[in-house]
């Protein structure tokens, strides 16, 4: 006697893992998540914001207390509410630039860059995303800091020769220019970190470029200084947010173009090394 057996059904196939395509938006999202996962990001951005506000208020308070004493330095006595509020820019640029170096060079020092480039084999989107994400963050922090510093600093110096408010010509432009300058410094920091692949090396070059080179150029003959000094990164950047200009400095538009050129040069060097050399 034959027995009939019912056909057994094949077990359902396990659902396959979804296939993710590398896209610019996903790379940006990844870099955004990595940036905010680091404790150093919060600490350094907080320091940058603190430098902008605290030093701006300290400079304004010092001007207010010393304006009638007769012992104030002549250059400081000619300050405006804008220049006093932006006194902390030189300190904030170091904090934001150093964090930019850490964003890229830090991955090389820990070896995490191998995982990053394995997920994004084309490489360059990683550099563009890191620079864009941190550049925007530095821009927002810098702009927020200078506006807060001016808002309170202008109240401190109210009633003095330095008094100004947002309605004065050039004030908003100067404050926006300072925020943009700090954002671009952050981008340069990320480029130097990717180019040199060393935290110490990137920070050293950044500090030398922004602070030491202008001092060395000042030792050159005066005729050379006039031709070279306005085009240095720090001096071109300062012309972006200076309220007044003279024959030895660039206009805000020219300063922006020169500083953008330095930024593009740093990014180009980082991109070339990223494409030409192994991790």
- What end-to-end distance do the CA atoms of the chain give, in Å? 72
pLDDT at 17: 52
C-alpha 58/C-alpha 179 separation (Å) is 20
- Alpha carbon distance 233, 237 (integer Å): 6
What pLDDT shows up at residue 11? 53
Q: Other CB atoms closer than 10 Å to residue 27's CB: what's the count? A: 21
Q: Which of 182, 177, 189, 147 is nearest to 244 (CA)?
A: 177
At 230, list the tokens: 């306005």
Rounded Cα distance between 235 and 249, Å, is 8
Torsion of CA 114, 117, 121, 127, to 10 degrees: -150
What pLDDT does residue 247 have?
76
> Which tokens go with 163?
């008094």
Residue at token pair 């200009």:
245
- Tens-binned pLDDT, residue by residue, of the chain (279 aa): 444 444 455 455 445 555 557 677 888 889 999 999 988 899 999 999 999 999 999 999 998 888 766 677 777 778 899 999 999 999 999 999 999 999 999 998 888 888 888 888 888 999 999 999 999 999 999 999 999 999 999 999 998 888 899 999 999 999 999 999 999 999 999 999 999 999 999 999 999 999 999 888 888 888 788 889 999 999 999 999 998 888 778 999 999 999 999 999 999 999 999 998 766
* Residue (of 244, 196, 190, 248) closest to 41 by Cα position: 190
Which bin fits 183, alpha (ψ -120 to 50), beta or left (φ > 0)? alpha
Q: What pTM does this model have? A: 0.89
How far apart CA 186 and CA 188 sit, in angstroms, is: 5
pLDDT for position 2: 47
């Amino acid at each position: 006697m034959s027995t009939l057996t019912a056909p057994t059904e094949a077990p359902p196939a396990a659902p396959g893992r979804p296939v993710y395509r590398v896209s610019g938006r996903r790379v940006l999202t990844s870099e955004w998540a990595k940036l905010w996962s680091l404790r150093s990001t919060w600490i350094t951005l907080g320091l940058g914001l603190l430098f902008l506000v605290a030093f701006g208020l300290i400079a304004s308070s010092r001007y207010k207390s010393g304006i009638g004493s007769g012992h104030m330095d002549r250059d400081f006595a000619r300050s405006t509410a804008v220049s006093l509020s932006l006194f902390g820019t030189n300190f904030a640029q170091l904090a934001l630039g150093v964090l930019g170096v850490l964003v890229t060079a830090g991955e090389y020092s820990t070896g995490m860059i191998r995982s990053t480039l394995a997920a994004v084999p084309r490489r360059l989107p990683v550099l563009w995303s890191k620079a864009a994400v941190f550049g925007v963050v530095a821009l927002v922090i810098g702009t927020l800091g200078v506006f807060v510093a001016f808002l309170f600093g202008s109240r401190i110096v109210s009633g003095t020769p330095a008094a100004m408010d947002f309605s004065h010509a050039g004030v908003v432009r100067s404050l926006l220019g300072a925020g943009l300058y700090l954002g671009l410094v952050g981008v340069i920091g990320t480029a130097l970190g990717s180019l040199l692949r060393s935290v110490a090396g990137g920070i050293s070059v950044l500090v030398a470029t922004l602070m030491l080179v202008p001092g060395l150029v000042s030792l050159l003959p005066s005729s050379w200084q006039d031709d070279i000094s306005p085009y240095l990164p720090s001096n071109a950047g300062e012309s972006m947010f200076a309220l007044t200009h003279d024959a030895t400095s660039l206009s805000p538009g020219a300063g922006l173009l020169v500083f953008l050129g330095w930024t593009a040069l740093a990014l180009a060097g980082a991109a070339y090394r990223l494409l030409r050399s192994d991790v």
